[in-house]
Structure 1
Amino acid sequence: EVLHHALKVDFWDVDAMANKIIAVLKHDALSHTLRVHADVELRRLTWDESAQKCLVIYDKLISDSRFAKTSK
């Protein structure tokens, strides 16, 4: 996951999603905690870091013999 301090819910579970939204609106402490952690997490996210992680994954895939191109 990209964000660790977030309320997570199945994309298709609209009832659970609504309940989480209502919880954030009703509970000031929860709302505050999520805001503080979101601010910290968003500061550490950069496009450079994301690109570097993608390159590492691509390098692993390229060097993995299961994905090597075979000549016929």
Structure 2
Amino acid sequence: MLGIFRTNITTVQDRNHVISAISSQFNVKDCTLDLEDCDRVLRVVSLQSMAEQTIIDFVTRLGFYCDILD
């Protein structure tokens, strides 16, 4: 799965926390978050098939906004 999401994550500390949490919870090949983009783009490449909603729900439970980037 390749998921590209819009978030409201703004700090390096929060970015590192979210990437670490996603990497620990899911079998991901790559996970990045661009703080300089206006949409704070989260990109997740997973080695397993999963619904994008799974990532959205997970990031939301961490206390952040997350939605599919159109």
TM (norm. structure 1) is 0.25
Higher relative contact order (CA closer than 8 Å, sequence separation 6+): 2
Higher-Rg structure is 1
Flag the structure with higher strand content.
2
